[in-house]
């Protein structure tokens, strides 16, 4: 089996959790990184849902593409499905991403299911910051998730102005 690519736009970028032989910056057109998924477990609760990242329609998203050896296909896909499809709020897709200084390649990606009850829709910066502030789940505070995401994106040289605006408001609210 041939090598394949996986596209990461959030925590997969700095904590992929699977073996790979190459990592490249890549851009996915037609989808954007957004806090568009209500979290009832990891970063929130049923009473106070937090927000986590999803790939939502529109715009483009700069992330990382990981090249995985073909002989690890079944193992890596099983791992990703266990990690990403817990509540089925994401849909597994093969989408074309353009590698930085390279060709377009098909990559496995997980996009938000807009019909799922956990889909938060297109919310503005103020509402996102309000929802994030004070939400806590099994994986910790939602504020930490957003602020750590921004720090990791900056370390990778990736700007996300909308998410940065949310993080700035979250930071101001918790100071």
* pLDDT digit string, tens, across residues 13-23: 989 999 999 99
Q: What pLDDT score does 153 carry?
A: 95
Which residues does residue 24 pair with via DSSP β-bridges, in sequence order?
A: 65
Cβ atoms of 111 and 14 closer than 8 Å: no
Would you say 156 and 64 are in contact if contact means Cβ atoms under 8 Å apart? Answer: yes
pTM listed for this prediction: 0.92
Residue 5's nearest CA partner among 102, 87, 82, 90 is: 102
The pLDDT assigned to 86 comes to: 85
Nearest-angstrom CA–CA distance, 61 and 156: 14
What residues are annotated to the active site?
Answer: 84
Judge whether residue 173 has pLDDT over 80: no
Give tens-digit pLDDT for 89-136. Answer: 999 999 999 999 999 999 999 999 999 999 998 899 999 999 999 999
Instruction: Give the C-alpha separation, 48 to 154, whole Å.
Output: 29
* Residue-level pLDDT at 1: 78
- Nearest to 118, CA basis, from 58, 29, 44: 44
Mean pLDDT of 55-84: 97
Portion of the chain with pLDDT greater than 90, in percent: 91
Q: 30: Cβ–Cβ under 8 A, 6 or more apart, which residues?
A: 57, 58, 59, 60, 95
**Domains in the chain: ranges and CATH:** 4-123 (3.10.490.10)
């Amino acid at each position: 089996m041939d090598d394949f690519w996986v596209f990461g736009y959030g925590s997969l970028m700095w904590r992929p959790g699977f073996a790979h032989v190459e990592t490249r910056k890549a851009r996915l057109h037609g989808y954007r990184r957004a806090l568009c998924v209500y979290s009832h477990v990891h970063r929130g609760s049923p009473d106070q849902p937090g927000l986590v990242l999803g790939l939502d329609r529109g715009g483009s998203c700069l992330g990382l593409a990981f090249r995985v050896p073909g002989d690890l296909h079944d193992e890596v896909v099983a791992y990703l499905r266990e990690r990403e499809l817990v509540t089925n709020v994401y849909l597994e897709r093969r989408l074309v991403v353009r590698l930085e200084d390279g060709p377009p390649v098909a990559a496995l990606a997980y996009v938000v299911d807009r019909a799922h009850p956990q889909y938060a829709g297109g919310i503005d910066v103020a509402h996102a910051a309000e929802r994030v502030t004070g939400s806590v789940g099994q994986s910790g505070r939602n504020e930490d998730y957003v602020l750590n995401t921004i720090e990791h994106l900056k370390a990778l040289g990736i700007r996300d102005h909308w998410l940065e605006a949310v993080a700035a408001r979250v930071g101001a609210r918790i100071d």
